Structure 1
Amino acid sequence: MKRTLLLITFLLLGVNIKAQDLLSFKVEVEQSQPLPTYLLALEERHDVKFFFAEEWLLPFEITISANGKTIRDALNLILEDSGIHFEEHFGYAIIFVKDPRNEERRDSILRVATITRKSVDQTIIGDARSFKPGKRVQLKGIVKDEVSGNPMKDVIVMLNDREVASTDEYGAYKLVTISGGYILSFSYPNYREKVIDLRIYDDGDVNVFLEETPVILDEVVVSEQALTNRIGESSLKMTDLKRSPTFLGERDLVKQIQLQPGVTTVSEVATGFNVRGGGVDQNLVLYDNIPVFNTSHAFGFFTAFNSEAIQQVQFYRGGIPSQFGGRASSVLDITSKEGAYDQWHGSGGIGIISSQLALSGPIKRDTASIHASFRTSYSNWLLQSIKSDYDLRYASVKFYDASIKLTQKFTARTKLTLSAYSSSDEFSLTNDTTYMPRNLASSIKLDHIFNEKFFGSVTASFGQFSYTMSEPEEHQAFELKYEIQYPSLRLDFHVEKQKHKISFGAQSTLYTFQPGDLTGSKNSSTVNFIMPDEKALESGLYISDALEISNKLLIEAGARYSMYHRLGQGVTYLYDDNKAREPMNIKDSITYTGGDVMKMYQGLEPRLSMRYTLNDNSAIKFGYNRIFQYLHLVTNTAAVAPVDIWQTSNEYFKPQRADQVSLGYYKNFNNNVYETFVESFYKEVQNTLDFKDGSQLILNKHLETALISGHSTSYGVELSAAKVKGRLTGTFSYTFSRSLRQTDGRFPTERINDGKTYSSNYDQPHVGTVTWRYAFSRRHFFAGTFTYHTGRPTSLPTSFYQIDGVSIPNFSERNKFRIPDYHRLDVAFIIEGNHKRKKLLDGTWIVSFYNVYSRKNAYSLYFEDNGKGMVTTYKLSVIGSIIPSVTYSFKF
């Protein structure tokens, strides 16, 4: 389409240039083919570009009879008496035109204008009199939202219908091309495409603003697997999140992550997600560059992030950039919205279990803004009405989350941002025990552009994660508290120089852990117990360079050097080397005072990402990364429990070291309507921790006697096919993967399954997902999701024996059995507001049905002695019925 627009522009300017020797090469064809197809193939082999209206040339073919002729002679013969002529322009462009006086041409122009419905601006950079054929020029600029003025990431930049660049986190893009005339376009989901008739004769800038607009049926979609992304990188679109089925009306970012290839979860009531065979603790979740330890509300039912507060989301499961460290499997990088700089806006939603509101606007027009959001629950009755094997009649759920971002522009080059996020829960399930986890994250960030090629930022932040568990029953009453505080400082710089994009910086985080404070009431049998605080300092230096070797090959190489110090005060217990590590085998101890270094670890983390573009529609990608993880999640359950704790690396717990290799092939079809990829990976993680059978993990001063170290291996293949344009869009993905562990110590008590390889708690070999959205009209959609995965491993008793009348189980080997396979269908009907550009309120209704066919998926298995020493096994389902919901969201 943009080829036609460029053609029209040339015609209107009255182009009339004589052909020279550009078309002197010989025709070589093996069989007849449409003329447009042949001309596009020539562009791949020769330094020439053809511009034409496809409908003009489709009736013509080039046949084997043209072999040996020059392309000029062949075209003259094929187009004889057709009224179509071709002309050379700028020494590299061949433009096909019709007689300007021809009525058919005028009809074509009107048809093109009607179809595109776009305004075309003209931009001229440089002086046409200085034009030199073949001269290479650089074009760059910044893309911003027209209303808020915020930079827009992942905007697709195209020249003549070909994707050539995408914007970075600062909204910046840069490309190199040959001087001449082009149709330049910028596209992003839910925004009106910007089209520019560009004449560029020298280096220059084109800065644009994009206008948000209602979605049309054939919108251009920024793909999660765009050919320009790194391997294993996805850009999640908030528009998709808002048009997906929901559980109890809650739009859930984490559940969208769980639909990605290579990502699984152990249950719908499980916190977090597992990536490529990794544990929940191996995912780095950042909110405005601040780590978040708890990503869910209500024991995993809902995500802890309000979609109204989120601007963009980047997810890395392979090829992780060097600026990220500290987690072994993946990075989920969430950026919150900035406030609008020109006028006030708002959005919100009303659901059956919670409501939310967000406001955005200027504090001082064009220079200072604010964006604030708040979400809270207000009902317990719905959970109590869910049909479940788990007794929810006495369940109680309360939660809220809030965020605020203040932005001050001091100059066009300097900006200060203050960001804060908080979430809190209070819930209990089948008894009176109450759990209250909390998140707190705040930061202050200064961005400065030193010059056109050098910019950077400095960020100071503070994070806190805590939980309280309390039991009110008088004779057992207690309160257990746990807390992590982690102030941090980071520096990030970026340099662009010719074909290089260099990033470098430093980060440092000081952790203070309060591993447990147990307090009993006056009449309680609970004994007060306080675990000593632990401190640790984690730091890192990084550098990377994205080097464009050629138009086809891009290499991003980098390294991260991480350092970790376990700090005093504290005690390291020494054990008899000839005996198993048990409390009774302690032979000595070393006491450290405040500020002493109890243990130090360090290591180099190389990173490499490569992309080789085969043609406009296909690419091969490769990635390798090594990451050290210095914090360990201590748990003995498959799903993260409210009372799980984080353990620092020390004398006995070495940091996890993950090495991952990824290789993928990507292919788009039918003018990028269909996108497919296959991606394989292999990952090894050293020094993973697992628990000994029967271990006590909470309030244990000798935790090194309850945990043992091993290593894990995971590998797999991820397949995905997506249709991203048209009335019907959707994705099919399938992942085959294995997640295996081996724990083989010196002594029998330090081995699991006698040192043999066993499945991890989250090993799910087969995972398949289908998502779709069908547009009945521009306002009405039918969306759905079907997911299936192999049941996760579990350990079960194989028999019972009696001691003093008490049944004692004999357990199988670790994770020898599996719970039943999991599958679920969700659907939703979406009715969006009208498409008037000027309106007071734009509303959307979502009617959603979760678990349509009432599948009773197993959350876990439990067992009983049947009185004959045999085991009777039962399946526990948390959700066993269809869950309908209605949600109304709005913006103004």
Structure 2
Amino acid sequence: MKFLTLTFIVFLFLGNPLLYSQEQSFISGTVYEVEENAPLPGANIYWESEPQKGVVSDINGNFTLPIIALPAKIVVSFIGYSQSVRILTAKDLEKPVKFYLKPEELSLEEIIIRDVNPEQNVKGIEMGKSVVPIETIKNIPALFGEVDILRSLQLLPGVQTAGEGTTGLFVRGGSADQNLINLDGAPVYNPSHFFGFFSVFNPDALSDIEFYKGNIPAELGGRVSSVIDVSMREGNFQKIRGEGGIGTISSRLTIDGPLFSDQSSFIVSGRRTYADLFLRLSNNENIRNNQLYFYDLSGKFTFKLGEKDKISFSTYYGSDFLGLSGQFGLGWNNFISSFNWNRNISATKFFDLSAYHSRYQYQVLFDDPQDGFNWTNSLSESGVNLGWTWLLGDNSVIKAGYHGQFYHFSPINLELAPESNLTDINTNQKNGLLNNLYVSGTTEFGNKLLVEAGVRLSHYQEVGKGVLYQYADGIPSPEAEVTDTLTFGRLERMKVFQKLEPRISFRYLLAEDLSLKAAFNRSHQYVQVASNSSAGLPIDRWVPSGTYIEPLRGDQVSVGLFKNLANGTWEVSVETYYKDFRNVIDLRQGASVLFTDNVETELLSGVGYAYGAEFLIRKNVGKTTGWLGYTYSRTWRKIEGISSDNWYNPRFDRPHDVNLVLNHEFSDRWSAGLTFVYTSGQAVTFPVGTYVVDAQRVPVYGDQRNADRFPDYHRVDASITWRNQDKGRKWRGSWNFSVYNLYGRKNPFTFQFTDIYNDDINFDPEDGGEIVSQRPGVVMTYLFTFLPALTYNFKF
């Protein structure tokens, strides 16, 4: 009943477009790329007589366009492709139409950094949204030559990084766990390889990336800061093809093509590093026995069931392992699978169904007769998502649906060595059941005002099988005595939360190429990470909401101006935002959360806020393309029991951030890319003094958290690409040479406060050498300076 009431309220707010849309007729169809017979998202479709009322094809190449008096000419265009013009009659309304666009021969002279209508930046309702084409990402200089989508998103305004070489994202004052990262609708809980140096996504297997950092649609939820929606591309329906690369640190291969007929396709992709193969060549036995690798495999199978239905199956598996001399091992892996069904009920009604399962697990192994152990743990999420879309008229859309999620956090599995002196650890599983209903609508009032409003109702239950500890005075703390333990059976209700998440946004056209946008967005998050690492570790502890941990709430208000110049050649935008956080968690001083079953005793919760301004100028067309972005932002937290109950900055508070991205096409064979990054140093806590215990100097920390900062961070990356001439060959290759940190800036990764012997930071007194002098000092560790990489990429 509540859901029907919310739907009615939204309809009223939007002016009830149902009252005037019933007589509107539409024509629907799909746009394909002719050579690959693959859907072409972002194509522009409009009537020749009314170009200002066009639409854009979606991620599946589908579009729906209101009809005019027929017969009439319809135009389909996409930058870099030949235009398609066709005369349509009333007979064409009987079934969806198909358009096939052919690439222009001179399309290589331009690099397009977006694949949407040039007017979408100004006339669309979206704020804080970026659609990043894969080809753009592939042109950005990369660490070790490894193209990485998450590191590319770090170059956008409003996105901060955890530090040198990591893929962690901190969006508009939110922590890394506040980002929802989906792969074909399934969440990815650890999106990184090599401790965050690379992301789990192989760019050759992807079609599109949508990044929301503000005005998150009502159909997406579960995180309070951002959504990164990644889609795997469909295989070619006509012919077998492949692409890949051989790089400095890894190689990759992707093959796709028709599966059984031209109505089904497949794509499979694999990638593996070979650092461990080089370790085996060492003469040092300790180095030779080390293991260091990651690999991932992904696939997608698509089936067209007539003109109206399409289903697809997607799967991903990725694994990392670090082993040192056969004594210590750390490994983790992701397994993701999803099913999607898209149905075009009619020209104005659409239905989507998806079901998924995502599992993340890790292992820590220590081989020792007395202190050895094998520690494993895992978490998983399973869900189903049903969504309906109705087109009601020009720029009038209603969406509604249901999203159900089940969280399972396994107990710690600790196997001790037979002669171990360690104490066994017993923990209990935790489970959560989350049901969401959502409805949203978009409509236009006149020619200037466009409004989108929606609401999401979430109902969360902490359920058994599990236990609930009760504490003296009802407040969990390390000193509090456990007075009772309550046991709950399978799916028995333990705690319930029900939250409402309203969302509304406006776009007002001040001129044809200038608009003002504003949005309000409320989100709730029922799972958070308890960690003292800003960069994110494979063993970070995810904790669900429950009796002692309230759901995190985030409110965001944003306002922006958007301007197009020179017919869309340039885009300029300014966005400001303010975010309010409630029930944000942080660790107590000296907390330990990895092995405890009473994790609530190590956590404190409070409030926070963040604000900022983002400036972006971007060139979309021409031989030279790219963007320049600047962000000023601050984020603060206040949690009783931390930093003397005063406001403090999280480690990812970095006030100033500048990013420059440039690509230039010298010819159809030579191109170059350059990026410049500057950001304020991350907030940290330095010791205020030291004391000596057993001849060892121990640092002393003050009460204020993160009151100090690292030095400012900056670097330049550059790359140059050479492509062989395309003379109709089946095999096409290119060489990419890149340099990470071109001028060798020594950006700090860590600072260690320790004793320095003999004025030599590498001197180890345990080696038995003579100690001439001893003094306290600070040792800075940096990871990369001038780092070249060479990659050979190919297609066939």
User: Does residue 317 of structure 2 align to residue 317 of structure 1?
Assistant: no
In structure 2, what is the equivalent of residue 416 of structure 1? 311
- AA partner of residue 344 (structure 2): I
Out of 706, 710, 729, the residue aligned to residue 839 of structure 1 is: 729
After superposing the two structures, state which structure 1 stretch, 160-169 or 174-183, moved more.
174-183
Alignment partners' CA distance in 2, 1:580 and 1:572:
11
Alignment partners' CA distance in 1, 2:325 and 2:513:
55
- AA partner of residue 480 (structure 1): W
User: Does residue 85 of structure 2 align to residue 196 of structure 1?
Assistant: yes
3-state SS in 2 of match to 1:435 = strand
In structure 2, what is the equivalent of residue 494 of structure 1? 389
1:654-669 map, 5 Å? 654-669=550-565
3-state SS in 2 of match to 1:693 = coil
TM-score (norm 1): 0.79
Out of 168, 181, 197, the residue aligned to residue 58 of structure 2 is: 168
In structure 1, what is the equivalent of residue 336 of structure 2? 441
In structure 1, what is the equivalent of residue 712 of structure 2? 821
Q: Is the 8 A contact 1:375 1:400 kept in 2?
A: yes
Q: Is the 8 A contact 2:162 2:168 kept in 1?
A: no
3-state SS in 2 of match to 1:777 = coil
Q: Is the 8 A contact 1:269 1:299 kept in 2?
A: no
User: Does residue 115 of structure 2 align to residue 210 of structure 1?
Assistant: no
1:731-750 map, 5 Å? 731-744=627-640
Alignment partners' CA distance in 1, 2:496 and 2:33:
46
Q: Is the 8 A contact 1:548 1:555 kept in 2?
A: yes
In structure 2, what is the equivalent of residue 151 of structure 1? 39
Superimposed CA distance per residue, residues 356-413 of structure 1 (whole angstroms, 9 cap, x where no aligned partner): 111111122222211111111122478999xxxxx99997421111111111222211
CA separation of 1:139/1:459 partners in 2, compared to 1, >3 Å: closer, same or farther?
closer
In structure 2, what is the equivalent of residue 760 of structure 1? 650
3-state SS in 2 of match to 1:360 = strand
Superimposed CA distance per residue, residues 289-344 of structure 1 (whole angstroms, 9 cap, x where no aligned partner): 00001111111111111011101111100010011111110000011011121111
3-state SS in 2 of match to 1:451 = coil
Alignment partners' CA distance in 1, 2:44 and 2:92:
20
Alignment partners' CA distance in 2, 1:384 and 1:638:
33
Q: What RMSD, in angstroms, separates the aligned Cα atoms of the two structures?
A: 2.9
Superimposed CA distance per residue, residues 559-612 of structure 1 (whole angstroms, 9 cap, x where no aligned partner): 111111111122222223387733443333332222211111111111112222
3-state SS in 1 of match to 2:142 = coil
3-state SS in 2 of match to 1:341 = coil
1:99-248 map, 5 Å? 140-157=28-45, 164-175=54-65, 185-188=75-78, 191-196=80-85, 207-212=98-103, 215-218=107-110, 222=114, 226-227=121-122, 228=124, 230-248=126-144
Q: Which has the higher contact order (CA 8 A, sep 6+)?
A: 2
1:498-513 map, 5 Å? 498-499=393-394, 500-513=396-409
CA separation of 1:154/1:623 partners in 2, compared to 1, >3 Å: closer, same or farther?
farther
In structure 2, what is the equivalent of residue 112 of structure 1? none
Q: Is the 8 A contact 1:800 1:870 kept in 2?
A: no
- AA partner of residue 398 (structure 1): Y
Q: Is the 8 A contact 2:151 2:166 kept in 1?
A: no
In structure 1, what is the equivalent of residue 487 of structure 2? 591
Alignment partners' CA distance in 2, 1:616 and 1:875:
53
Out of 651, 659, 674, the residue aligned to residue 784 of structure 1 is: 674
CA separation of 1:709/1:875 partners in 2, compared to 1, >3 Å: closer, same or farther?
same
In structure 2, what is the equivalent of residue 327 of structure 1? 223
In structure 2, what is the equivalent of residue 32 of structure 1? none
After superposing the two structures, state which structure 1 stretch, 524-533 or 309-318, moved more.
524-533
- AA partner of residue 585 (structure 1): E
Q: 1:477 Cα shift? A: 2.0
Q: 1:840 Cα shift? A: 0.8
Q: Is the 8 A contact 2:669 2:725 kept in 1?
A: yes
Alignment partners' CA distance in 1, 2:257 and 2:572:
40
CA separation of 1:843/1:402 partners in 2, compared to 1, >3 Å: closer, same or farther?
same
Of structures 1 and 2, the larger Rg is shown by: 1
Q: Is the 8 A contact 1:156 1:222 kept in 2?
A: no
- AA partner of residue 482 (structure 1): N
- AA partner of residue 672 (structure 2): F
CA separation of 1:720/1:381 partners in 2, compared to 1, >3 Å: closer, same or farther?
farther
Alignment partners' CA distance in 2, 1:431 and 1:261:
44
In structure 1, what is the equivalent of residue 768 of structure 2? none
Alignment partners' CA distance in 1, 2:618 and 2:307:
40
TM-score (norm 2): 0.88
Out of 837, 844, 857, the residue aligned to residue 747 of structure 2 is: 857
In structure 1, what is the equivalent of residue 20 of structure 2? none
- AA partner of residue 591 (structure 1): T
After superposing the two structures, state which structure 1 stretch, 234-243 or 208-217, moved more.
208-217
The percentage of aligned residue pairs carrying the same residue is: 31
Q: Is the 8 A contact 1:515 1:699 kept in 2?
A: no
- AA partner of residue 484 (structure 1): L
CA separation of 1:824/1:186 partners in 2, compared to 1, >3 Å: closer, same or farther?
farther
In structure 2, what is the equivalent of residue 608 of structure 1? 504
In structure 2, what is the equivalent of residue 361 of structure 1? 257
Q: 1:271 Cα shift? A: 4.4
Out of 570, 573, 578, the residue aligned to residue 674 of structure 1 is: 570
- AA partner of residue 534 (structure 2): A
- AA partner of residue 308 (structure 2): R
Alignment partners' CA distance in 2, 1:442 and 1:579:
40
Q: Is the 8 A contact 2:380 2:409 kept in 1?
A: yes
Q: Is the 8 A contact 1:263 1:273 kept in 2?
A: yes
3-state SS in 1 of match to 2:748 = coil
Q: 1:247 Cα shift? A: 1.2
Out of 772, 777, 784, the residue aligned to residue 872 of structure 1 is: 777
Alignment partners' CA distance in 1, 2:325 and 2:530:
24
In structure 2, what is the equivalent of residue 458 of structure 1? 353
Q: 1:839 Cα shift? A: 2.2
Out of 342, 346, 357, the residue aligned to residue 242 of structure 2 is: 346
Alignment partners' CA distance in 2, 1:384 and 1:674:
52
Q: Is the 8 A contact 2:166 2:198 kept in 1?
A: no
Structure 1 residue runs without a partner (length 5+):
1-134, 386-390, 745-750
In structure 1, what is the equivalent of residue 721 of structure 2? 830
Superimposed CA distance per residue, residues 453-504 of structure 1 (whole angstroms, 9 cap, x where no aligned partner): 1121222211100011112244432211110122211111111122421111
Alignment partners' CA distance in 1, 2:298 and 2:138:
19
In structure 2, what is the equivalent of residue 631 of structure 1? 527
Aligned length: 744
Q: Is the 8 A contact 1:138 1:175 kept in 2?
A: yes
- AA partner of residue 82 (structure 2): E
Q: 1:136 Cα shift? A: 9.9
In structure 1, what is the equivalent of residue 794 of structure 2? 890
In structure 1, what is the equivalent of residue 16 of structure 2? none
Alignment partners' CA distance in 2, 1:293 and 1:393:
32
Q: Is the 8 A contact 1:475 1:525 kept in 2?
A: yes
- AA partner of residue 577 (structure 2): F
Alignment partners' CA distance in 1, 2:324 and 2:738:
25
- AA partner of residue 216 (structure 1): L
In structure 1, what is the equivalent of residue 661 of structure 2? 771
Out of 461, 468, 483, the residue aligned to residue 565 of structure 1 is: 461
CA separation of 1:213/1:648 partners in 2, compared to 1, >3 Å: closer, same or farther?
farther
- AA partner of residue 409 (structure 1): K
In structure 1, what is the equivalent of residue 760 of structure 2? none
1:376-455 map, 5 Å? 376-380=272-276, 396-428=291-323, 433-455=328-350
- AA partner of residue 311 (structure 2): L
- AA partner of residue 767 (structure 1): D
- AA partner of residue 85 (structure 2): I
Q: Is the 8 A contact 2:113 2:136 kept in 1?
A: no
Q: Is the 8 A contact 1:720 1:732 kept in 2?
A: yes
Alignment partners' CA distance in 1, 2:182 and 2:35:
26
- AA partner of residue 415 (structure 1): K
Q: 1:269 Cα shift? A: 3.8
Q: 1:206 Cα shift? A: 5.8
3-state SS in 1 of match to 2:39 = coil
Q: Is the 8 A contact 2:302 2:310 kept in 1?
A: yes
Alignment partners' CA distance in 2, 1:194 and 1:400:
41
Q: 1:617 Cα shift? A: 1.7
In structure 2, what is the equivalent of residue 469 of structure 1? 364
CA separation of 1:431/1:640 partners in 2, compared to 1, >3 Å: closer, same or farther?
farther
